[in-house]
Amino acid sequence: MNFIEDLGIVGYLQIAKVYKDKPEEIVFDDHNIIVSGMSVGLSHLFSGSGSNNIIDYQFDKFQLGLSGNDSAGSGTYELSGPLSSIEEYGGAANFAIISAIQIKDGSFTTSQQIFGRIPFKNVTKINDASVRYTILVDEDTANYTNYAARHSTDQVLTEIGLFMKNPRGEAGDASILVAYRKFTQILKTSDFALVFRWTINF
């Protein structure tokens, strides 16, 4: 993490419940963890050893998860319990749900992983050094009923990860985790949407 520390990259995550008939409720507001995947991706960029397309270094994917890692640190390279199917996110999700390779611990996974895609319109430049990624999980998405119908336990959201698109420039996206945060348990229902406002300061 020395490379990232030298660059001074930090992040901050705010999560809000948004209801149709009352003001939004902030349920989480704290710093996140910038993980070593950020160093890997930016090293490829600065050394010219990865993709030649600057778009491949954008943060364009995310994962939601169920476990949450209390001991997460800079070496974290995956969520503890990521949602693993389109059905668990919900067929009516308001964002694209895609399958792609994930780089883990310096290697490729043996199977595809499921990601939500962050629309470009939801990426906002705050100032010369800060970018905000707004992830909207609407009323019909990632609800516990989507999960409970197929599992013996309820789906309680507790973690989220932000991913760089394709730093190695593979033929198909091979994404890497760059930021992570465990948050307060949220039992997602159709009564509210969730808005994740994730700001990265470069």
* Other Cβ atoms within 10 Å of 46 Cβ, number: 11
Alpha-carbon dihedral sign for residues 37, 158, 65, 58: negative
Residue 124 has pLDDT above 60, yes or no: yes
* pLDDT reported for residue 25: 97
Q: Which residue range forms the structural domain that includes residue 27?
A: 2-201
Q: Return the DSSP state at 83.
A: -
Say if residues 114 and 99 touch (Cβ distance below 8 Å): yes
pLDDT, tens digit (0-9, with 9 covering 90-100), for 151-202? 656 678 999 999 999 999 999 899 999 999 999 999 999 999 999 999 999 8
How many structural domains is the chain composed of? 1
Residue 1 has pLDDT above 60, yes or no: no
Kindly list the distances between the CA atom of residue 109 and the CA atoms of 10, 59, 105, 112, in Å, as whole numbers in the listed order: 27, 19, 9, 7
Quote the pTM value.
0.92
